[in-house]
A and B are shown apart, each in its own frame.
Chain A
Amino acid sequence: MSSLAPVRESWDPEALDVDEMILNMGPQHPSTHGVLRLELKTDGEIVKAVRPHIGYLHRCFEKHCENVDYPGVLPYTDRLDYCAAMGNTLGFALAMEKMLGIEPGPYVNTIRVLMAELQRIASHAVAVGTYGMDLGAFTPFLHLLRDREKILDLFEWTCGARLLYNYNWVGGVSHDLPEGFLKACRGMIREYEAMTHPKLVELLIGNKIFIKRTAGVGVCSPELAISHDLTGPNLRGCGLPRDLRKDHPYSGYEQYDFQVALGTGQYGPLGSCFDRNWVRVVEMAESARIIHQALDKLEKMEKADVHEKVPKRVKPAKGEVYFRSEAPRGQLGYYVVSDGGINPYRVKVKSPCFTAMSVFHRLARGLYIADIIALLGSLDIVLGEIDR
């Protein structure tokens, strides 16, 4: 229990020991994945304490939401986690559907699953690719970005946007899949499975230098992970098989056959930076499996109107809802309060990156400065979602 007690640390420069130094890292540091500032108290090369400063990218998301109507919130949610925008809009659309009692048809649900899983591959491609780059491996990043580009091309073909899609609407999706999409998507995923994924495992994950830099660094115990609400790959890296797609399926995830990726601790203690990345890599392969099944379903399915269930006016009754979905970076929760009007009364986003960052100061104690970079990248944060 004592390890979970709040950390009280003095940051008074006058109170430093002779050997100690306060070192500033960021906000314009390439490996902080955005604009994050870390204050490190160091003793030589060893980090004794860390204080993260966030908020450089704060854009008043929650205040904006109170001044637009419900469908108007969707484009704002895109801009939270800009590496995985499909997951953000899906979460908000599902929250609103829970509030309004709308059930989209199987055609829309299958498209949503397909898009969410494509987005998961694209998002993990950035996460693992840039992580390798942080540690000095440039090649895997190029392989992964090539495949991410192909996925973004598919998105662009479908809805016209490459980064911020506004694709999942309340009750439906904005555009039907174009003619020939299924074939192109199948080809792309086959290529990914045959070429990029084995290359990724060979070049990065199985690389001795990578293993030495990550295994045993930043070990997080399951208790600490749950107490600090780590979710998604960060939680599964601790060996806990918890995935909302399995535990509380939404959008018909219960119809798909896939495994929950788990950290195994194969090269060191369980819950290290290696395990978190291992989970992401396995998850990419599992997402490819889900995509194949979704494509199979869509090939057999009659086309349906994707706007059929979209309400003319979103005006939920007085009340509130909390809905969480499994975004690529973890559980993304939306707390929406309605006062019966056409604008939300309150929207709060529980961001998985925000909670992952809140545990950083505990995991970073006693690491080398170079390992701070390894730890930060392994938590896979996107500052747009932390700062909102």
Chain B
Amino acid sequence: MTPQEIHDALKARFGEAILSFDEKALDPWALVKPEAIAEVAAFVKAEPALGFDNLMCLSAVDWPKETPPRLDVVYHLYSYKHDHTFVLKVQVPRDNPRVPTVEGTWGVANWHEREAFDLYGVVFDGHSDLRRILLPDDWQGHPLRKDWEDPELYNGMRVKPTPQMAERYAAGEKIGVGPFDFTPPNLPLEQS
């Protein structure tokens, strides 16, 4: 099916929940209401004509400068049966990002959603095991957000240079890296 036909099928089934559609993009995508994404996901997998049995990728994107500031969650779908692709997006407010989980539809979403939670702070409602996955359990904050600032300390270990160290860096001093000896080692000359 072409992306236009896939969109038409979604629109016929969900109506208002499909907010917009961009056919001109390299990978055409449809914008879905966040509350409806779990149902849409179950539908596109179960509907024989669509048959999206594979979730290729689930990613979050941070847009703090848009009005209103928002987080996108992007679902790249593929159908092994029909060999077509489609992209679903949801947009959630940045200060309260909540999206229903799709792990019941595609098993791989479990880890992808944990990653999006870990790095962006998107909360997936109904997720069976929403813990941090790449960062340590006691890490504070979500580093892939655009306004992320490194903390001074993590468990007593220095993460960010102190102002004094930053000044010395700026002056060109090599801190903690040397001194290295770049003269070649004194090796016996090769016998000719």
Mark A residues whose CB is within 8 Å of B: 4-8, 54-55, 58, 60, 62-63, 98-99, 224, 226-229, 240, 242, 247, 319-322, 324, 331, 333, 335, 337, 345-346, 348, 350, 354-355, 357-359, 362, 387-388
Per the 8 Å Cβ criterion, residues 121-135 of B in contact with A are 128-129, 132-135
Contacts of B108 in A (CB 8 A): 227-229, 355, 358-359
Which residue of chain B lies nearest to A11 when distances are taken between CB atoms in the complex? B129
Pick the contact of B61: A63, A346, A357 (CB < 8 A): A346
Place the interface of chain B in its size category.
Answer: 20 to 34
Bound-state Cα–Cα, A240 to B144, Å: 36
Bound-state Cα–Cα, A342 to B33, Å: 32
Q: Does B27 contact A (CB under 8 A)?
A: yes
With A226-B53, A229-B54, A229-B106 given, name 10 new contacts (CB 8 A).
Answer: A54-B133, A224-B107, A227-B53, A322-B56, A322-B76, A324-B56, A335-B57, A335-B76, A346-B59, A348-B59
Contacts of A99 in B (CB 8 A): 26
Please determine whether B104 and A388 come into contact, CB atoms closer than 8 angstroms: no
Bound-state Cα–Cα, A168 to B152, Å: 38
Which residue of chain A lies nearest to B119 when distances are taken between CB atoms in the complex? A62
Please determine whether B134 and A55 come into contact, CB atoms closer than 8 angstroms: yes
Please determine whether A358 and B111 come into contact, CB atoms closer than 8 angstroms: yes
Bound-state Cα–Cα, A98 to B25, Å: 12
Given contacts A224-B107, A333-B76, contact A63 B144 (CB under 8 A): yes
Contacts of B133 in A (CB 8 A): 54-55
Please determine whether B107 and A322 come into contact, CB atoms closer than 8 angstroms: no
Contacts of B136 in A (CB 8 A): 55
Q: Does B87 contact A (CB under 8 A)?
A: yes
Please determine whether B61 and A319 come into contact, CB atoms closer than 8 angstroms: no
Contacts of A58 in B (CB 8 A): 134-135
Given contacts A54-B133, A322-B27, contact A226 B80 (CB under 8 A): yes
Please determine whether B59 and A54 come into contact, CB atoms closer than 8 angstroms: no
**Which applies to chain B's interface (DSSP): helix, strand, loop or mixed?**
loop
Please determine whether A62 and B144 come into contact, CB atoms closer than 8 angstroms: yes
Please determine whether A6 and B135 come into contact, CB atoms closer than 8 angstroms: no
Per the 8 Å Cβ criterion, residues 90-105 of B in contact with A are 103-104
Please determine whether B128 and A8 come into contact, CB atoms closer than 8 angstroms: yes
* Mask of B38-67 contacts with A, CB within 8 angstroms, 1/0: 000000000000000111110101100000
Contacts of A348 in B (CB 8 A): 57, 59
Please determine whether A229 and B55 come into contact, CB atoms closer than 8 angstroms: yes
Please determine whether A322 and B128 come into contact, CB atoms closer than 8 angstroms: no
Q: Does B149 contact A (CB under 8 A)?
A: no
| A-B CB contact pairs (8 Å), 12 listed | A6-B104, A54-B133, A55-B135, A63-B143, A63-B148, A99-B26, A227-B106, A350-B57, A354-B111, A358-B110, A359-B108, A362-B107
Bound-state Cα–Cα, A5 to B136, Å: 27
Please determine whether B107 and A358 come into contact, CB atoms closer than 8 angstroms: yes
Contacts of A322 in B (CB 8 A): 27, 56-57, 76, 87
Please determine whether A321 and B26 come into contact, CB atoms closer than 8 angstroms: yes
Please determine whether B106 and A319 come into contact, CB atoms closer than 8 angstroms: no
Closest 10 CB pairs of A and B: A348-B59, A358-B111, A6-B128, A229-B108, A350-B57, A55-B134, A227-B107, A228-B107, A58-B134, A228-B108
Bound-state Cα–Cα, A333 to B129, Å: 25
Which residue of chain B lies nearest to A321 when distances are taken between CB atoms in the complex? B26
Among B25, B111, B135, chain A packs the most CB atoms within 10 A around the CB of: B111
